[in-house]
Amino acid sequence: MQPPGDDAALHEIAALVLPGSGRPSVERAERGVSTPVYRIRRAGTTFYLRLAEGPAASLTPEVLVHNRLRAAGVRVPAVVHFEPFNRALGRSVMVTTEIPGTSIDRHHRGVDIGQVLVAAGRDLAIVNGIAVAGFGWIRRDRPPAAPLAAALPSLRAFALDNLDAHLAALRPDLTAAEIRAVRRVVARGDAWLDADRAILAHGDLDVSHIFHVDGRYTGMIDFGEIRGADPLYDLGHVALHDGETIPEPALPHLLTGYGEAAPLPADHELRIRFWSLLIGVRALARRAGRPWSADQAHLAGAIRAILRTPPT
């Protein structure tokens, strides 16, 4: 989807951040579903230009997150240009450097991805160590100097938001017995929703966001879906998508690295499955009514696998 404004505005920003002779190339990147992302190139250098979803959604929180994570040693793209609001495009604009290499989902054969994921797990623990005031989507309407804040007052409100509607939407995809089983798992984990401390979650983490060069971890990308959540939310998201694009499970390696940087609770396996289930139900419900796809089949299969796992 082309943003408001014209192509000239994108090229003007590209020329500003990558000066030189000739016109830099600007093309829509394949990734960047939640927000428009463009790849800009000149003389062997590649940057990525991200636009906010709309005029009222500032990219200030993402700039803050990138800067804080880089200061803490996490390998994420550097912000090289930021405009709270570009009049020609009608949106907030952020330009970042490129993370070298290729994502694991695109290049994993013949590579020791275990070591890549262990390193990514250490970085993820630092990401999840950043405090957020509140739960749910990060607010994008606050002053630039304001700390990270989310819209909801409790973890329960975030986790169970529209759960009844989501389960109703899944009746063609899950059996009545499976839906009852989902409710039982949610009820068993109710005490976990009493947490009063939110942390920063990447929000959409899977192996497509973890990059490497020939088995050497180079970083993680795409903080367009950041939110305030439980510390195990991102690990639950990874677990949900294990096996979807690569045959080797990513979660065990991520847990190794994560545990090296931050303590994991004794019941972390149960809590990761809990979050995988809630995330999976929500994701599958959003796709309800669409023609059946491999994506939906994976989500339904992952939900059923969680429900078959006996509680311990």
Is 0.85 topped by the overall pTM? yes
d(CA 34, CA 52): 9
Res. 164: pLDDT tops 90: yes
Q: If you average pLDDT over residues 264-293, what whole number do you get?
A: 96
Residues of each domain in the chain carrying CATH 3.90.1200.10: 102-308
Q: How many other CB atoms are there within 10 angstroms of residue 29's CB atom?
A: 13
Cβ proximity of 258 and 170 under 8 Å? no
CA angle (5, 9, 11) in 5-degree steps: 140
SS3 142: coil
d(CA 247, CA 240): 14
Instruction: Compute the mean pLDDT over every residue in the chain, rounded to the nearest whole number.
Output: 94
d(CA 140, CA 203): 15
Residue 102 has a pLDDT of 96
d(CA 94, CA 60): 9
pLDDT tens for each residue of 166-224: 999 998 899 999 999 999 999 999 999 999 899 999 999 999 999 999 999 999 999 99
DSSP character at residue 209: G
Residue 33 has a pLDDT of 54
CATH superfamily assigned to domain 102-308 = Aminoglycoside phosphotransferase (APH), C-terminal lobe (3.90.1200.10)
pLDDT tens for each residue of 218-263: 999 999 999 999 999 999 999 999 999 999 999 999 999 999 999 9
pLDDT tens for each residue of 116-146: 999 999 999 999 999 999 999 999 988 887 8
Show the tokens assigned to 300: 């339904």
Direct distance between the N- and C-terminal alpha carbons of the chain, in angstroms, rounded to an integer: 47
Q: Does domain 7-97 have CATH number 3.30.200.20?
A: yes
Four-point Cα dihedral 113, 116, 117, 120, nearest 10: -160
SS3 241: helix
Cβ proximity of 167 and 183 under 8 Å? yes
Q: Bridge partners of 308? A: none
Res. 35: pLDDT tops 90: no
Cβ proximity of 26 and 38 under 8 Å? yes
Residues of each domain in the chain carrying CATH 3.30.200.20: 7-97
Quick one: which of 37, 17, 2, 13 has its CA closest to 221? Answer: 37
CB contact burial 80-117 (16+ within 10 A = b; e otherwise): ebbeeebeebebbbbbbbbbebebbbebbeebebbbbb
Residue 312 has a pLDDT of 67
pLDDT tens for each residue of 59-91: 999 999 999 999 999 999 999 999 999 999 999
Res. 2: pLDDT tops 60: no
d(CA 200, CA 208): 19
Q: How many other CB atoms are there within 10 angstroms of residue 187's CB atom?
A: 8
